């Protein structure tokens, strides 16, 4: 497979920040199966660092021998017997994709749903050769509450650092894109998120890291085209099967310590109320999630909607008060989320709606194509009788939009022919119906 020229690339390739041949030190990283252009050995031509977490670093690379083209290679930072559980977690996340979400042989597979998740292509962690041949049996062995990762040390059958290969996802993170997104795009993202969670529920899986920094907008909204979301990082995903909610296995637990200060703890805002308590009480019982299984990610979706609605800083401030004062839940009608739905997503676990229920409530609020929307707005404008400018009422704009089925502020401006000096809290009425509101 020929490597494309720079002119054919959609995005610029950053300058390498590491050395393929230099020794491993604090500034350089020894990368697995790195291609040496002199000898021709090695498969991956590493071209830049894409991201980094606590356990692994993700690199952009070109497959020199396997024909995959550009990919993302996720490399474990530390490789030793003491860190085998981290290699297992990486193995597990790749298998969730290879054996579940993107496995066409699985009767639960859906191409439309699967494309919402970044696809894992290869597993080079060494765990495929360990334990039972079947992934489900192998997973249960290593996730057993009786399996002690400190006492039962594991020798991985590979010499280099464990790594996995994923599709290269372009675009920008949802977290970065939020400030520039339109109300239409936000609604589309929420619907796609709920659809993705519905797919996870088919497989009885919980993402547990469902937030804007782990999602990419791979396409923005265009005429006749919707924006497209891709969900990344399945690193802490677990099964929602019975017993997993209190499983004390170190490979199952996550987020056991949110931070020493309140400011640090606020950063873990996507964690449900019931999980936070266990995080901050390290000597207490383990709480990986609260049944029903969908409740964890449902809460995270509610927090994501708050971020889309208010912005990250204000959303975190508002969220702090909602546990004791649910009546303060903001109205998300402007981006297609009824206040009651948002309140239920952020309520106690038993009250949180299933993803399918969320989808059902969001679908009727989806926008039509821009052309159809403009045509409908023009028809409404033609049917609007002229009224004296003195016929005005003070009305909350979001409530008005909900009552009239209008989707964006621009809709209201077009239909009601706002004057340029009209405020957002005083709208011009038209016809008897508006006066009756």
For the chain, the C-alpha Rg in angstroms (whole number) is 25
pLDDT of residue 34: 96
pLDDT of residue 152: 86
Do residues 177 and 44 both lie within one domain? no
Do residues 246 and 186 both lie within one domain? yes
Beta strand 205-206 pairing with 392-394: unpaired
H helices within 242-396, ranges in order? 262-266, 273-280, 295-310, 312-322, 339-345, 355-362, 370-382
Does residue 265 sit within a domain?
yes
Do residues 215 and 121 both lie within one domain? no
Segment among 143-152, 274-283, 289-298, 417-426 with least mean pLDDT: 417-426
Do residues 338 and 235 both lie within one domain? yes
Does residue 45 sit within a domain?
yes
Structural contact between residues 91 and 123, judged by C-beta atoms closer than 8 angstroms: yes
Whether 435 shows a pLDDT value over 90: the answer reads: no
Tokens of 213: 């920094």
Q: How far is residue 241 from each of residues 32, 94, 139, 216, 328, measured CA to CA in Å?
A: 35, 19, 12, 29, 34
Place of tokens 């045509």: 375
Do residues 188 and 49 both lie within one domain? no
Do residues 360 and 429 both lie within one domain? no
Q: What is the pTM of this model?
A: 0.78
Tokens of 67: 């024909």
Per-residue confidence at 203, pLDDT binned at 50, 70, 90?
A: very high
Segment among 41-50, 82-91, 187-196, 243-252 with least mean pLDDT: 82-91
Does residue 341 sit within a domain?
yes
Give the Cα separation of 426 and 375 in Å (integer).
25
Q: How many helices (H) and strands (E) does the chain have?
A: 15, 12
Whether 373 shows a pLDDT value over 70: the answer reads: no
pLDDT of residue 264: 86
Per-residue confidence at 3, pLDDT binned at 50, 70, 90?
A: low
Instruction: Select from 335, 365, 395 the last residue of a domain.
Output: 365
Whether 297 shows a pLDDT value over 50: the answer reads: yes
* Long-range contacts from 405-410, C-beta under 8 angstroms, 24+ separation: 407/183, 407/184, 407/187, 407/336, 407/365, 407/367, 407/373, 408/182, 408/183, 408/184, 408/334, 408/367, 409/183, 409/334
Segment among 158-162, 415-419, 423-427, 430-434 with least mean pLDDT: 430-434
Tens digits of residue pLDDT in 225-261: 889 999 999 999 999 999 999 999 999 998 877 877 8
Do residues 337 and 193 both lie within one domain? yes
Top-confidence residue, 382 or 419: 382
Place of tokens 């998740």: 117
Does residue 1 sit within a domain?
no
Per-residue confidence at 123, pLDDT binned at 50, 70, 90?
A: very high
Domain that holds residue 407: 381-436
Q: What are phi and psi of 71, to 5 degrees?
A: -140, 175
Count of other CB atoms within 10 angstroms of residue 362: 22
pLDDT average, residue stretch 182-200: 96
pLDDT average, residue stretch 289-301: 97
Does residue 270 sit within a domain?
yes
Per-residue confidence at 403, pLDDT binned at 50, 70, 90?
A: very low
Whether 387 shows a pLDDT value over 60: the answer reads: no
Beta strand 120-124 pairing with 172-173: unpaired
Share of the chain above pLDDT 70, in %: 74
Does residue 44 sit within a domain?
yes
Do residues 314 and 402 both lie within one domain? no
Does residue 375 sit within a domain?
no
Do residues 327 and 423 both lie within one domain? no
Segment among 81-95, 143-157, 321-335, 370-384 with least mean pLDDT: 370-384
Tokens of 186: 């936000």
Instruction: Select from 365, 393, 423 the last residue of a domain.
Output: 365
CATH number of the domain encompassing residue 192: 1.10.510.10
Whether 419 shows a pLDDT value over 70: the answer reads: no
Per-residue confidence at 406, pLDDT binned at 50, 70, 90?
A: very low
CATH number of the domain encompassing residue 106: 3.30.200.20
In angstroms, how far is the first alpha carbon of the chain from the final one?
Answer: 65
pLDDT of residue 382: 56
Do residues 75 and 27 both lie within one domain? yes
Instruction: Select from 333, 365, 397 the last residue of a domain.
Output: 365
Do residues 353 and 216 both lie within one domain? yes
Does residue 374 sit within a domain?
no
Tens digits of residue pLDDT in 17-56: 333 333 344 346 679 999 999 999 999 999 999 999 888 9
User: Please, what is the average pLDDT of the chain?
Assistant: 81
Do residues 359 and 385 both lie within one domain? no
pLDDT of residue 259: 77
Number of domains in the chain: 3
pLDDT of residue 200: 98
């Amino acid at each position: 497979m020929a490597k494309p020229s720079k002119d054919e690339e959609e995005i610029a390739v950053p300058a390498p920040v590491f050395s393929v041949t230099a020794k491993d030190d604090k500034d350089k990283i020894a990368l697995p199966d790195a291609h040496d252009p002199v000898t021709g050995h090695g498969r991956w031509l590493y071209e830049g660092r894409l991201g980094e977490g606590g356990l692994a670093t993700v690199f952009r690379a070109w497959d020199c021998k396997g024909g995959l083209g550009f990919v993302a290679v996720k490399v474990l930072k530390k490789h030793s017997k003491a860190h085998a559980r981290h290699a297992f977690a990486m193995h597990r996340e790749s298998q969730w994709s290879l054996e579940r979400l993107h496995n066409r042989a699985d009767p639960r597979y859906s191409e439309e749903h699967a494309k919402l998740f970044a696809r894992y292509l290869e597993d080079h962690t060494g765990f495929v050769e360990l334990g039972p041949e079947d992934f489900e049996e192998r997973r249960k062995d290593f996730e057993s509450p009786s399996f002690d990762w400190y006492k039962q040390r594991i020798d991985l059958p590979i010499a280099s650092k464990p790594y996995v290969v994923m599709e290269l996802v372009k675009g920008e993170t949802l977290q970065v894109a939020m400030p520039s997104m339109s109300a239409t795009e936000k609604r589309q993202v929420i619907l796609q998120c709920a659809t993705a969670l519905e797919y996870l529920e088919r497989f009885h899986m919980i993402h547990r890291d469902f937030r804007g920094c782990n999602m990419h907008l791979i396409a923005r909204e265009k005429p006749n085209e919707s924006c497209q979301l891709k969900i990344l990082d399945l690193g802490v995903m677990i099964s929602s099967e019975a017993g997993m909610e209190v499983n004390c296995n170190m490979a199952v637990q996550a987020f056991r310590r949110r931070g020493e200060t309140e400011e640090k703890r606020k950063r873990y805002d996507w964690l449900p109320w019931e999980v936070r308590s266990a995080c901050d009480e390290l000597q207490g019982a383990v709480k990986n999630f609260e049944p029903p299984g969908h409740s964890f990610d449902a809460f995270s979706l509610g927090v994501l909607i708050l971020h889309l609605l208010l912005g990250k800083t204000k959303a975190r401030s508002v969220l702090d008060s909602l546990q004791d004062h649910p009546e303060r839940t903001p109205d998300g009608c402007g981006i297609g989320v009824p206040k009651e739905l948002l309140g239920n997503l952020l309520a106690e676990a038993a009250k949180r709606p299933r993803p399918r229920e969320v989808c059902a409530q969001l679908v009727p609020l989806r926008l039509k194509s821009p052309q159809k929307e403009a045509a409908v707005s023009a028809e409404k404008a033609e049917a609007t009788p002229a009224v004296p400018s003195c016929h005005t009422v003070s009305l909350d704009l979001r409530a008005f939009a909900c009552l009239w089925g209008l989707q964006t502020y621009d809709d209201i401006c077009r239909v009601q022919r706002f004057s340029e000096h009209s405020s957002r809290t005083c709208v011009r009425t038209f016809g008897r119906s508006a006066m009756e509101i």
